[in-house]
């Protein structure tokens, strides 16, 4: 049997690893368009910050793949899918045949319709080559404006700052991390970020970027222009589904898959950032990994079902532990919110409840209790009778769990 | 033995389970993992991990 994998990111690499870990003996070939072995995206921030050397970017070395008989083909993009023939086209030239195909084509940076976004010294930050280009520029010129105050924008800000850059973050919404945090939590995070010497600007929409040769001048819908030597656009990502669409596979926002991670063609699986499951495109590591793992088990014939991933980000942002789980910004819902904060200690907690059950949580400045909260969300347990106490530091969860 | 959490992706290393797929036996404390051990979920190095309180 032969398994081919489109994409050499986390989903593709972990899918291959998982097949071997499960004892799968089939031929496995991974095709990646980049010139690098699999690298975890979080490593890019450490590399940008100068905290790890280039050699530590990669999860596994070349001999790791050889020992597991994994064929890895770099700088080799898959340029066409032919589901009925069970063939893929490689680099516009030749064809390869497979028994099972996994599409793990990931996502690409979204660039909003900003005039001049294609100017030189305007960067996106998704690939290692883009990271290296940014580092190269920052080594010459220190000024940087980051468009996007979400997870990636803030991580780039922190990494660039650690390298000595002069950084402004500009966010379109009225708060940082708009998808994960509410106003209160975002305000706490802003203080932390500004405390690192990063300037934050909220509610600003960039309309045009002009390059005068030396500097970029950014014009906004309202308010003053901003000028800097470089800009990074960190405005989100979009699934890479062109290949799948051309091949006639079912797509919507992403490549649509069922609970076996199969696309509309049963011999083709979809995993990772490119994929949509029950109307959701996750774009987070735990989902990519769970999908890769479940799909590999399905391939070897196990009766497994993927039931989705509870979106949970537990990250250290600007030195602050920030955990966001489930639905944290309810709209038009019959929900209730309970909160607790101790700003001097940089702590903030919020729970979103529906019918007494926790459906969302934000925890900042502490991780105590978050594991138990995750379990309560997954179990759908009512915490109605403990509402008044559950956010206290010394709450004993064993009364519920 | 303490559990350690990957700050990049949330994976929790539980010494009681180890990481058998990577040849790490159950009962191996985090401190004894090799320097080139990586997170089984996302592939980042040990430096991304923090002890869980």
pLDDT surpassing 90 at residue A328: no
**Residue A332: what pLDDT?**
62
Put simply, the answer to whether A13 touches B48 (Cβ < 8 Å) is no
Q: Which residue has the higher pLDDT, A29 or A330?
A: A29
Put simply, the answer to whether A10 touches B43 (Cβ < 8 Å) is yes
Put simply, the answer to whether A367 touches B53 (Cβ < 8 Å) is yes
Q: Rounded distance, CA A248 to CA A339, Å?
A: 48
- Tens of pLDDT, residues A68-92: 999 999 999 999 999 999 999 999 9
Put simply, the answer to whether A14 touches B39 (Cβ < 8 Å) is no
- Tens of pLDDT, residues A245-286: 999 999 999 999 999 999 999 999 999 999 999 999 999 999
Of B21, B44, B52, the CB nearest to A40: B44
pLDDT surpassing 90 at residue A346: no
**Residue A368: what pLDDT?**
85
pLDDT surpassing 70 at residue B53: no
**What is the average per-residue pLDDT within A337-355?**
90
* Predicted confidence band of residue A228 (pLDDT cuts 50, 70, 90): very high
Put simply, the answer to whether A286 touches B41 (Cβ < 8 Å) is yes
**Residue A371: what pLDDT?**
82
**What is the average per-residue pLDDT within A212-226?**
95
From the list A78, A69, A6, A45, the residue with the least C-alpha distance to A292 is A6
Mutation target to probe the A interface, by most A beta carbons within 10 A, among B3, B4, B6, B10 is: B10
* Secondary structure (3-state) at A80: strand
Q: Rounded distance, CA A173 to CA A236, Å?
A: 13
**What is the average per-residue pLDDT within A361-373?**
88
Token pair of A74, please? Answer: 């770099």
The verdict on B47 touching A (C-beta cutoff 8 Å) is yes
Surface of A (40-79) touching B: CB under 8 A: 40, 42-43, 46, 52, 56, 59-60
Put simply, the answer to whether B44 touches A59 (Cβ < 8 Å) is yes
**Residue B7: what pLDDT?**
83
Put simply, the answer to whether B9 touches A286 (Cβ < 8 Å) is yes
**Residue A120: what pLDDT?**
95
Contact A79, A61 (CB under 8 A): no
Token pair of A226, please? Answer: 């901003």
* Predicted confidence band of residue A326 (pLDDT cuts 50, 70, 90): confident
* Predicted confidence band of residue B10 (pLDDT cuts 50, 70, 90): confident
Confidence (pTM): 0.91
pLDDT surpassing 90 at residue A316: no
A194-217 burial, b for 16+ CB within 10 Å, e for fewer? eeeebebebebebeebeeeeeebe
Q: Rounded distance, CA A191 to CA A180, Å?
A: 17
The interface pTM score, or ipTM, of the predicted complex is 0.93
User: Which of A140-144, A284-288, B46-50: highest mean pLDDT?
Assistant: A140-144
| Spatial strand order in the sheet of A357-364 | A312-317, A320-326, A357-364, A347-354, A336-342
* Predicted confidence band of residue A374 (pLDDT cuts 50, 70, 90): confident
pLDDT surpassing 70 at residue A203: yes
pLDDT surpassing 70 at residue A291: yes
User: What is the count of residue pairs from A and B with beta carbons less than 8 Å apart?
Assistant: 57
């Amino acid at each position: 049997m032969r398994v081919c994998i489109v994409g050499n990111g986390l989903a593709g690499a972990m899918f291959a690893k998982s097949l071997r870990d499960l004892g799968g003996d089939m031929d496995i070939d991974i095709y990646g368009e980049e010139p690098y072995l699999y690298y975890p995206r979080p490593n890019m921030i450490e590399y940008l910050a100068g905290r790890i050397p280039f050699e530590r970017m990669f999860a596994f070395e070349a001999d790791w793949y050889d020992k597991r008989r994994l064929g890895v083909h770099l700088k080799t993009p898959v340029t066409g899918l032919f589901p009925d023939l069970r063939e893929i086209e490689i680099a516009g030239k030749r064809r390869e045949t497979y028994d099972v195909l996994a599409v793990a084509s990931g996502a690409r940076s979204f660039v909003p319709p900003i005039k001049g976004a294609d100017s030189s010294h305007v960067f996106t930050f998704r690939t290692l080559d883009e990271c290296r280009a940014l580092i190269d520029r920052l080594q010459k010129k220190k000024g940087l404006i980051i468009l996007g105050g979400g997870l990636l924008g803030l991580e780039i800000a922190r990494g660039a700052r650690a390298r000595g850059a002069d950084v402004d973050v500009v966010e379109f919404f009225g708060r940082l991390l708009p998808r994960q945090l509410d106003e209160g939590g975002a305000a706490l995070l802003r203080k932390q970020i500004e405390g690192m010497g990063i300037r934050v600007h909220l509610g600003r929409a960039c309309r045009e970027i002009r390059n005068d040769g030396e500097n970029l001048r950014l014009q906004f819908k309202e308010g003053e222009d901003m000028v800097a030597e470089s800009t990074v656009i960190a405005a989100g990502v979009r699934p890479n589904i062109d290949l799948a669409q051309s091949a006639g596979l079912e797509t919507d926002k992403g490549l649509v898959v069922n609970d076996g991670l199969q696309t509309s063609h049963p011999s083709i699986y979809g995993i990772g950032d490119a994929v949509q499951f029950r109307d959701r495109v996750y774009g987070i590591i735990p989902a990519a990994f769970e999908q890769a793992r479940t799909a590999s088990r399905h391939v070897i014939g196990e009766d497994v079902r993927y039931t989705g991933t509870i979106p949970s980000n537990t990250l250290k942002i600007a030195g602050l532990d920030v955990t966001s789980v489930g639905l944290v910004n309810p709209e038009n819902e019959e929900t209730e919110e309970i909160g607790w904060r101790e700003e001097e200690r940089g702590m903030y907690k919020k729970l979103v409840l529906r019918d007494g059950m926790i459906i969302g949580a934000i925890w900042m400045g502490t991780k105590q209790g978050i594991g138990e909260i995750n379990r309560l969300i997954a179990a759908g347990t009512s915490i109605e009778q403990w509402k008044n106490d559950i956010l206290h530091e010394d709450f004993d969860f064993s009364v519920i769990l | 033995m303490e559990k350690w959490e990957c700050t990049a992706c949330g994976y929790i290393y539980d010494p009681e389970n180890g990481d058998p797929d990577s040849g790490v036996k159950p009962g191996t404390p985090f401190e004894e993992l090799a320097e080139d051990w990586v997170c089984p979920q996302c592939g980042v190095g040990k430096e991304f991990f923090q002890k869980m309180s």
